């Protein structure tokens, strides 16, 4: 394990220490330690409003992935081996394409002359093109499509391991399909749901390319804010402080989800 541990320390722990040290300096040329960058972040409502917007964006995209991803995983788990392979391939197909390519494809789809607007206009659902690009609903929609495999695969893994005799026993005892689903299948699949939510949420809040290209300049989230401070304003210490705060906030959300996951495992075992 020593080579793996050395690699982890050199390329993960050490950069984090450098990032934290940089965030505690007034600028890159001085060696004076200060917490001014953190004070600057939390005393400016604009900064922490971006943080909350980013965290809630992840919640919205994760919920959309869960609503659409759970039925997909359930269908895959109940399908035959041949169809399950086909469905799983379709689920992971977006991962095989570059995120930049997928995002530019969504720009074409969501544009004023895009596919969705053409369909809406042809069906007379609207009199003028809908504004889908450079809006938060558009960002949520694209994030949900891009990160959907991260939600479906963990749920599918757990659903595939559930003993089918449990559902048969539930039906023998008089429960219908829906009651069996809500009282047996869903509780037993909660660990997979929590794992999918952790992966999806972490990927959604840090999706710099998707947030920037679909949201545009008027929707600023934390990854773009960090980029603007580091590259645009050349304020690397403040960008480092924002990165540390953002990392802690995401880790707190992941820790909360992990706690829910441990409780769901005990509930499923009961």
Residue 74 maps to a domain: yes
Residue 37 maps to a domain: no
For the whole model, what pTM was predicted?
A: 0.89
Q: Are residues 167 and 185 in contact, defined by beta-carbon separation less than 8 angstroms?
A: yes
Residue 5 maps to a domain: no
Query: How many structural domains compose the chain?
Result: 1
Distance CA 47, CA 51 (A): 7
Torsion, Cα 229 232 234 235, to 10 degrees, reads: -20
Task: Please provide residue 57's backbone torsions phi and psi, each rounded to the nearest 5 degrees.
Answer: -60, -45
Between the CA of residue 224 and those of 83, 230, 243, what are the distances in Å? 41, 10, 11
143: domain CATH number is: 1.10.3720.10
Residue 244 maps to a domain: yes
pLDDT in tens, the chain (270 residues): 899 999 999 999 999 999 999 999 887 666 788 899 999 999 989 998 999 999 999 999 999 999 999 999 999 988 888 888 898 898 888 888 888 888 889 988 988 888 888 888 888 888 888 888 889 999 999 999 999 999 999 999 999 988 888 888 888 888 887 888 888 888 889 989 999 999 999 999 999 999 999 998 788 999 999 999 999 888 999 999 999 999 999 999 999 988 887 776 665 555
Domain enclosing residue 100, as ranges: 52-269
């Amino acid at each position: 394990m020593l080579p793996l541990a050395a690699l982890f320390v050199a390329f993960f722990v050490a950069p984090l220490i450098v990032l934290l040290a940089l965030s505690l300096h007034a600028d890159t040329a001085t060696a004076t330690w200060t917490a001014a960058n953190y004070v600057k972040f939390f005393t400016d409502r604009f900064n922490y409003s971006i943080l909350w917007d980013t965290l809630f964006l992840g919640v919205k995209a994760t919920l959309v992935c869960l609503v659409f991803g759970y039925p997909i995983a359930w269908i895959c788990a109940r399908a035959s081996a041949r169809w399950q392979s086909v469905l799983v391939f379709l689920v992971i197909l977006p991962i095989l394409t570059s995120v930049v390519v997928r995002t530019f494809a969504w720009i074409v789809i969501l544009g004023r002359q895009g596919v969705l607007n053409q369909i809406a206009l042809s069906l007379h659902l609207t009199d003028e093109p809908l504004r889908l690009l450079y809006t938060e609903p558009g960002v949520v929609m694209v994030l949900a499509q891009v990160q959907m495999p991260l939600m479906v695969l963990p749920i599918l893994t757990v659903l595939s391991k559930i003993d089918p005799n449990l559902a048969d026993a539930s039906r023998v005892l008089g429960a219908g399909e829906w009651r069996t689903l809500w009282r047996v299948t869903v509780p037993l699949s909660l660990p997979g749901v929590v794992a999918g939510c952790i992966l999806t949420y972490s990927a959604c809040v840090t999706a710099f390319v998707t947030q920037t290209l679909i949201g545009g300049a008027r929707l600023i989230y934390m990854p773009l804010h960090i980029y603007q401070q580091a590259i645009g304003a050349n304020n690397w210490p403040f960008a480092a402080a924002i990165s540390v705060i953002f990392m802690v906030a995401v880790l707190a959300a992941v820790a909360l989800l992990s706690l829910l996951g441990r409780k769901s495992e005990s509930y499923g075992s009961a």
